[in-house]
Amino acid sequence: MGMGELLLLGIGLSMDAFAVSICKGLAMKRATVGAGLTCGIWFGGFQALMPLIGFFLGSIFAEAIQSVDHWVAFILLGLIGFNMLKEALSREQECDCAQSDGDLSVKTMFVMAVATSIDALAVGISLAMAGDVPIFTAVALIGLCTFTLSAIGVGVGSVFGSRFEKKAQMAGGVILILLGLKILLEHLEVLP
């Protein structure tokens, strides 16, 4: 996987955290730079940690399933992508943001960071199956993308409301599906 693909992966994975950050900004009376940085650090940190854990877990089993590893990566990324699309299309944006609040306590942020990064754990497993992925570069890009977009999301929510939440999740889902398809087609030697 090249740097461009890793950057797209980082952007795709960060869309859930971006959507939640928009809701956080919407729920705050006045979003501050500190609030944006807090969301960015929590979400970016967990989005970087989870694929690293997934990669090492996937590496343990990579040899055993080497003949079908590309299918595993394709299925995992496809499922995560389709799930993001399904959630974006089936829910009401206003309801999600209305249930969110501006609470940035450790307990709240920990739960939200874990919830938005579970898919990154599965992506880490798929990266191990994809082979020849610079994992530390990948997790750095994923974490940086998520940090940046989460911090921006708080401001976007504060200024524009929830207009971008659904579109962000849809874009993330499409990116993950296309990356999974690319991994599969490369291993089947359809793409160079």
Tens digits of residue pLDDT in 129-146: 777 889 999 999 999 999
Tens-place pLDDT, residues 7-43: 988 998 888 888 888 888 877 777 889 999 999 999 9
Per-residue tens of pLDDT for the chain, all 192 residues: 788 888 988 998 888 888 888 888 877 777 889 999 999 999 999 999 999 999 998 888 767 766 776 787 788 778 877 887 887 788 654 445 544 566 788 988 898 888 888 888 888 888 887 778 899 999 999 999 999 999 999 988 888 766 666 777 787 778 878 877 887 887 787 866
pTM: 0.74
The domain tally of the chain equals: 1
Q: Residue 84 and residue 172: Cα distance in Å, rounded?
A: 7
Q: Is residue 192 part of a domain?
A: no
Q: Which residues constitute the domain of residue 94?
A: 3-187
3-state secondary structure 33-98: HHHHHHHHHHHHHHHHHHHHHHHHHHHHHHCCCHHHHHHHHHHHHHHHHHHHHHHHHHCCHHHHHH
pLDDT at position 37 is 94
pLDDT at position 140 is 95
pLDDT at position 1 is 73
pLDDT at position 52 is 95
Q: Residue 140 and residue 138: Cα distance in Å, rounded?
A: 5
Q: Is residue 67 part of a domain?
A: yes
